[in-house]
A and B are shown apart, each in its own frame.
Chain A
Amino acid sequence: MLRSRHTVPLLILTLIIGGAMVLVAVFIDWIPAVGSKQAERVDTLFLFVGIVSIAIFTLVTVVVVYCGWRFRVSEDDDTDGPPIHGNTKLEIVWTVVPAILLAIMAVWAYLVLSDNEALANDRLVIDVTAQQFAWQFVNPEAGAASADMRVPAGRQVQLKMRSKDVIHDFYVKEFRVKQDIVPGITTSLVFNPTRVGTYQVVCAELCGVGHGTMRARVIVMEPAAYQQWVTQTKADVAQQQAAQQQNQGQGGGASTAPSTTAPAPAPATP
């Protein structure tokens, strides 16, 4: 059927529509900056899925537009089209080809997922507590809680996250990671930051009035700077605790309120 007079116009139309799609895909900056190993893997997969999608969309649109243009008849045309009820070969093709593409996607996605979530032994584990409408990060190495999270570049970070009230969601677009924080359980999130910079943590699960403003920062530092910050914070905490004990004497509880350290000067966002 396609060996007929339709071939050339269809090809031209494919070039026009497909070309337009490619231009849109290439010249608009769809993909945000990359800040983690996870992001690199996800972007490659996204590229593949995107190319397949553009190809299929182009095919569908070309046929619809061509049919609407080429097979259109006037209102007083009372004839019927040819009584074609199907074509088994064609139907098998358009079942099997998508099936193969989807199988590739599924396997690829599975591999990316397991790579992205593989735990490293030297990972830095940070406790995250979310509540309406604030974040709190406790870095065990520094022994202090803070409203921003500081991590060294090049080392895997695992977040252990708890919620005090409703569901929240930890989302950093440059890392391509996202994980709900659910009251009653501890959820986990892994990322390998690769680039020094300050990134925005967004709450991505509707959590009430302040949902839109529930933000925090992840500050990815050079390992040396990070070490310096850890040492400094430890000292600060020790100092504070000593001061507190002196102030309170032997008064009541020994509970030490986690202190919030002032954020160190952050490197510029890439």
Chain B
Amino acid sequence: MATHAPTHSAPGGGHVHHVDPRPLSYWWKRAAVWTVGSILFAFAFVWLLRNFFQNTPTWDPQVYNAVAASFGAIGFLIGIGCFVWWWGWIRGRTVDAEDHSMHGATSWRDYFKVNTDHKVIGVQYLVTVFTFFVIGGIFAELVRTELAQPGQAIGDGETYNGLFSVHATLMIFLFVIPAFAGLANFVLPIMIGAKDMAFPRLNALSIWMLIPGGLMLAVSPAFGSFSAGWTAYTPLATQGGTGQTLFEVGIQFAGASSILTAINFLVTIFTMRAPGMTVWRMPLLVWANATTSALVVFGTPFIAGSQFMTLFDRVMGTNFFDPAGGGDVIMYQHVFWFYSHPAVYIMMLPGFGIVSEVIATHARKPIFGYRALAFSTVAIAVLGFGVWAHHMFVSGMAPWLRVPMMITTIIIAIPTGIKVFSWLGTLWEGKIHLRTPMLFAMGFIVTFSIGGLSGVMLGTIPVDIQVTDTYFVVAHIHYVFLGGSVFTIFAGIYHWFPKMTGRMYNETLGRWSFWLLFIGFNLTFMPMHWLGLQGMPRRVATYDDRFADMNMFISAASGIMTIAVIIFFYNMINSWVRGPKAPWNPWRGRTLEWLVSSPPSLFNFEATPQVVGGPYQYGVPGARHAVVFAPEEIGGELTETEKRTILVIANETVSSSTLIDEIRHRADEGLWRFTIAVPVGDGDQRAADRRLQVTLSVLAEAGVDASGTVVAGDPFAAARRVIDEEDVHELMVATYPTGRSGWMADDMVDRLRKATGLGVTRVVVRPDEARAPLPHAGVTRTAVIVDEAIGNGRLVDALRERADRGPVATVLLYPMALEGPGWTDEAEELRGAASERVREALDRLQDAGFQARGEVLDGDAAEAARVARTAHDAQAILVVATRGGPLGSDEALARITAAAGSLPVERIVVEAPTAPAGG
């Protein structure tokens, strides 16, 4: 579980933030040229092809429209600059992977350009989706105007069918789904301590893809809107005109945008969490978005496929869904709902996440049943893929499928119930601040409960048969999506408004907007349950006179919601422009986004934050979720003087440069002290001690506060010993790669995590790294020039003696003065034998706790001394000579000293080996 935020080159300091100089007008002119050019090209292209292949008629409008819409949208994306960086890269231009020239906003203009900053993209998302919300809302009011009286009021039946189709499609695909993407885009990377999303350029592409997709849906009424409902059931959809084509193409762009964002979230959440952010320390919004993203990645391709197949049926003469050509009408519904039911959870789970954040923060209490909430999110997502056919109980599908789908459907009520009850448990005995986001969250619990309960009713097949396709279903989906999703979106917008804009919203207007929306909503949609039970079918412009009074009442009540939304927009826009400045943490929240400035700086964090506890530790004395470092000039109050302990557990890998670099990297954050525990099973305790001394010496030299201990026993014993004595906040375990490591074979990392309940960072050390001599200050790099004594146990003894005076890193040099030419087979054989002896010696040294590397030299001892000085940068030379051997003489020592220059040379003379030395 590597949990490291990638290190961007730090802004400020030596690195200047280079900003793309091209003005707004440049990009939009470019976009206009590309869009118009692509559309014209598409028409010409299709015309030429149809002529060439003599397709008749040459003019078949839907073929042209489909190609023109697709080309136009892609042209727009090219023109606005989504692909500039990638295009440069493809052509082999020098492009900087760390190119941040399109990152961040300094004026409002930057929000209208392609931008790679997740915060800018988040705002772009929200502004875009609320624009579509207004359009969708206008369509909703037109629907209610039509329905205020039983007869036909606006246009003909086709007009009305277009109104509710466009309303539903915009609200679902261009508001609820991307609104959650926008909110999460802004806060989620900050919540997990990352500086941006994993793929910022892909992120930019996602938002810009949404715009042409949404425009196609929004402008379709001008071309004869699609009128088969947002579900676009075939064969009715197949009868549609240009509007239907725009729907089918527009959905592709909205869907692709959704998939790209989901992949981005998944990678971000899995790979970019700050150190210490274990999965059980993730805020529930992060859980919710990870789960939702998985749903999107698996589900959305199905709706894309269903719309492609319908489009092909219409423009290419395929027969996927046309029974006359062997197609299957019900297959469309299966494919469609296989996405669109999970889509219900795509539209709901992020809202659950938002509500969890809002309730914990404004009720000043830890989330009740954090793990149950996290697990129920996953459970809903998994079950959500097994319920799609409950939309099809009366569709004429295989009858046996109904009962299993009913069972899975109502099982979902259990995790959903767990969520609702857990929120109630969180509210209970809290210190509730009834601010606007909290009002929306509490209102959500009430209205969503109604939607959930009517969902259970619809899940029971006989009741569903009665009320499906009536206003009961209209009431149900609006209780789920408006009383559910939209309330959570509003809660989230109010909750994070200070963070996103740096200004406070007006609380009084906020409360007005809530109460008007809450009352207007219930007055509008509660009576629809009655209409449905009484048999008023949905999707009709005209209806029986006996429903007239109730419909008039509903249409009037919907006006209250319009007023509420107008107040909301006034509050948002006015507060954004001239609201009072927001503090960093107006709600005293605990999650990371509240520990950075409002709005956050260019890369969110000046230094990687440390997560040291759960996200909702309200009321727990002394508990912290995370520690964030800030330079003096922007406050600096987030630093903390008390240092917290990271327990490092390592044995043979303890003096590897990998581990030491990791420790120093973490120590740079200024927060941590380290206790290094070396568990020694049945190994050599002195060897372990020697390795530990090397590491501690290097760390001391580097100014890292570290202490160490050798513990007899396994890693558990070591962890327990240290945890008993000090307050440990995190574990760091260094092991060999999984295949080589005995600890990993025993699953040590997971078991330690469970046994201690702490976050564990695993550092993987290659065996050759573990034994390589350290280049760091703090150890004396000693070149050992050795003759026949290399096969002697005395070599280790001699080095031990040396090591007692201070840590050493050893380079073993074995000079081999060959007589005669060096290229003969005989010489090769001698070299091979020498290498073997060096290897054996190195093994013995490692067992004894020395880091050593060695080489065989062609040349004499003086040559070895020169190599030690120049190639190995040795700080001392130790000569280990056999009594009476070639290095034993004073003459040899003199030559070595001369070659060594200023390096101190020491000689140890050992007795000639009488027997092969043991280890």
Q: Which residues of A contact B (CB under 8 A)?
A: 1, 28, 30-32, 38, 41-42, 45-46, 49-50, 53, 56-57, 60-61, 63-64, 67-68, 71-73, 75, 77-87, 90-91, 94-95, 98-99, 102, 105-106, 108-110, 112-113, 116-117, 165-167, 169, 171, 173, 176-185, 187, 200, 202-213
Interfacial chain B residues near A57, Cβ < 8 Å? 449-450, 453
User: Out of B418, B429, B529, which one reaches A84, CB within 8 Å?
Assistant: B429
A171, chain B: closest CB distance, angstroms? 7
Interfacial chain B residues near A169, Cβ < 8 Å? 394, 469
B236 and A208 within 8 A (CB): yes
A68 and B434 within 8 A (CB): yes
Interfacial chain A residues near B2, Cβ < 8 Å? none
Interfacial chain A residues near B410, Cβ < 8 Å? 102, 105-106
Closest residue of chain A to B458 (Cβ to Cβ) is A49
Interfacial chain A residues near B543, Cβ < 8 Å? 212
8 A–B contacts from the bound complex (CB under 8 Å): A28-B530, A67-B424, A79-B364, A95-B417, A109-B462, A113-B462, A176-B465, A184-B324
B414 and A95 within 8 A (CB): yes
Given A60-B449, A64-B427, A105 and B456 touching (CB < 8 A)?
yes
Report if B791 contacts A (CB, 8 A): no
Q: Which residues of B contact A (CB under 8 A)?
A: 156-158, 161, 227-229, 233, 235-236, 239, 323-324, 327-330, 363-372, 394-396, 399, 402-403, 406-407, 410-411, 413-414, 417-418, 420-422, 424-425, 427-434, 442, 445-446, 449-450, 453-454, 456-457, 460-463, 465-466, 468-470, 529-530, 533-535, 537-544, 588, 617-620
Interfacial chain A residues near B429, Cβ < 8 Å? 71, 81-82, 84
A68 and B432 within 8 A (CB): yes
B418 and A94 within 8 A (CB): yes
B372 and A91 within 8 A (CB): yes
Interfacial chain A residues near B617, Cβ < 8 Å? 83
User: Out of B365, B414, B465, B542, which one reaches A98, CB within 8 Å?
Assistant: B414
B366 and A85 within 8 A (CB): yes
Q: 8 smallest A-B Cβ distances: which pairs?
A: A184-B323, A173-B535, A212-B540, A80-B619, A81-B365, A204-B469, A83-B619, A53-B453
Task: Give the most central of A81, A94, A110, A112: most B CB within 10 Å.
Answer: A81
A102 and B369 within 8 A (CB): no
User: Out of B156, B368, B457, B541, which one reaches A49, CB within 8 Å?
Assistant: B457
Interfacial chain B residues near A61, Cβ < 8 Å? 446, 449
Interfacial chain A residues near B463, Cβ < 8 Å? 42, 45-46, 49, 109
B442 and A64 within 8 A (CB): yes
Contacts A60-B420, A85-B366, A98-B413 aside, 5 further interface pairs with beta carbons under 8 A come to A83-B365, A106-B460, A176-B465, A182-B330, A208-B161
User: Out of A80, A173, A208, which one reaches B466, CB within 8 Å?
Assistant: A173
Cα distance, A49 to B403, chains bound together (Å): 17
A183 and B457 within 8 A (CB): no
Given A63-B428, A71-B427, A82-B429, A91 and B418 touching (CB < 8 A)?
yes
A80 and B618 within 8 A (CB): yes
A64 and B425 within 8 A (CB): no
Closest residue of chain B to A206 (Cβ to Cβ) is B539
B235 and A165 within 8 A (CB): yes
A184 and B418 within 8 A (CB): no
B453 and A206 within 8 A (CB): no
A91 and B619 within 8 A (CB): no
A185 and B330 within 8 A (CB): yes
Cα distance, A221 to B327, chains bound together (Å): 40
Closest residue of chain A to B539 (Cβ to Cβ) is A206
Interfacial chain A residues near B228, Cβ < 8 Å? 206
Interfacial chain A residues near B403, Cβ < 8 Å? 110, 113
Cα distance, A179 to B406, chains bound together (Å): 17
B466 and A206 within 8 A (CB): no
Interfacial chain A residues near B460, Cβ < 8 Å? 45, 49, 105-106, 108-109
A178 and B466 within 8 A (CB): yes
B396 and A71 within 8 A (CB): no
B21, chain A: closest CB distance, angstroms? 46
Interfacial chain B residues near A64, Cβ < 8 Å? 424, 427, 442, 445-446
Cα distance, A57 to B446, chains bound together (Å): 8
B411 and A202 within 8 A (CB): no
Closest residue of chain B to A49 (Cβ to Cβ) is B457
Closest residue of chain B to A102 (Cβ to Cβ) is B410
Given A85-B366, A177-B465, A184 and B329 touching (CB < 8 A)?
yes
Cα distance, A187 to B398, chains bound together (Å): 10
Cα distance, A234 to B418, chains bound together (Å): 62
Interfacial chain A residues near B461, Cβ < 8 Å? 109-110, 113
Interfacial chain A residues near B239, Cβ < 8 Å? 166, 208
A166, chain B: closest CB distance, angstroms? 4
Closest residue of chain A to B238 (Cβ to Cβ) is A166
